[in-house]
Amino acid sequence: MKRGMFCPEFNNLLKGEGSMNMKHLSHKLYSSVTLLSLAALLSGCCCNRGPQLEEEELETNIELNTVDPQISKGVNLKREEAAPEEANKAKTAPAKKATPIPYEKYPISSYTDLPFTKYDSGLKVQILKEGPASGESPKRGQTVVTHYNSWHSKKGKPGREVDSTYDRGEPFEFKIGYGYVIRGIDEAVMDMKPGDKRRIFIPSEMAFGQAGATDLVPGDTDLIYEVEVVDIK
């Protein structure tokens, strides 16, 4: 900075050029000192503030460009969770429609024309078809694969239909002798072999008893089953 740049008269006086009123000079000196002080103050503030601003801007830039690890993890988790969902949607195929299996339907007269076998427990059984004589009946604990139709018994004749594996297009299997099915089926199928088909008249106490089973089988309902043994494992 050049000397006297804020006060030309003071600069001339220093060079020995011209004269000045002291009062006026004092006023000029005071003004010059004040301006110089103010300039120095402003200059210092700016110089001191500069690095601080740079540090703050740097910290701001770091904060803007840095992602919290937990937030980053959360975003990744959401993406990872969404991926299997989309994959599952792609893999989900429409439910396969059941293909009913044809079966022999017996005339209503067969309910009275065919002979009965009566069990001490109260079961009554009619033989509809015999399997190969070489076949063996299941032993307790073996898995029996079956097809069946079932109805309410209406005076010994089929009434309202309850269930049919033929209509569903797939057999039903169970472990025999352990009560996994109603008692009438467990007992009657124990005497059957692969290929056999029998009509089983089951009193309510050997079926679902007083409690019944859903709206399809109210309490104290006698049932009729036509059961075919497909396989024994």
200 and 163, same structural domain?
yes
Q: Are residues 137 and 196 in the same domain?
A: yes
Residue 101 covered by a domain: no
Long-range contacts of 186-191 (CB under 8 A, 24+ apart): 187/119, 187/121, 187/123, 188/119, 188/123, 188/125, 188/225, 188/227, 189/138, 189/144, 189/146, 189/227, 189/229, 190/137, 190/138, 190/140, 191/125, 191/137
- Specify whether 122 is located in the same domain as 12: no
Is residue 209's pLDDT more than 50?
yes
pLDDT tens for 55-69 read: 554 444 444 444 444
**73/19 same-domain check:** yes
- Residue 175 and residue 208 share a domain: yes
User: Mean pLDDT over all residues of the chain?
Assistant: 75
Of 218, 225, 220, the C-alpha closest to 124 is 225
**3 state DSSP class of 36:** helix
Q: Identify whether residues 87 and 115 lie together within a single domain.
A: no
H/E segment holding residue 37: helix 22-65
Of 91, 125, 141, at which residue does a domain stop?
Answer: 91
183/73 same-domain check: no
Judge if 136 and 74 occupy the same domain: no
Strand partners, 145: 173, 231
pLDDT tens digits for range 101-160 = 888 899 999 999 999 999 999 999 999 999 999 999 999 999 999 999 999 999 999 999
Residue 105 domain flag: no
58 shares a domain with 149? no
Q: Which residue has the higher pLDDT, 94 or 229?
A: 229
Asked which of 91, 120, 137 is the last residue of a domain, the reply is 91
61 with 158, same domain? no
Per-residue pLDDT at 219 exceeds 50: yes
Q: Residue 22 domain-assigned?
A: yes
In this structure, the answer to whether residues 30 and 70 fall within a common structural domain is: yes
Residue 1 lies in a domain: no
pLDDT at 177 over 60: yes
Give a yes or no: residue 157 inside a domain. yes
Q: Are residues 67 and 164 in the same domain?
A: no
Question: Which residues span the domain enclosing 77?
Answer: 8-91
Residue 230 has pLDDT above 60, yes or no: yes
> What pTM was computed for the model?
0.60
Whole-number pLDDT of residue 97: 74
Structurally, the chain folds into a number of domains equal to 2
Residue 223 maps to which CATH number? 3.10.50.40
Q: Which of 91, 118, 142 is the last residue of a domain?
A: 91
Is residue 3 a part of any domain in this protein?
no
pLDDT band, very low/low/confident/very high, at 214 (cuts 50, 70, 90): confident
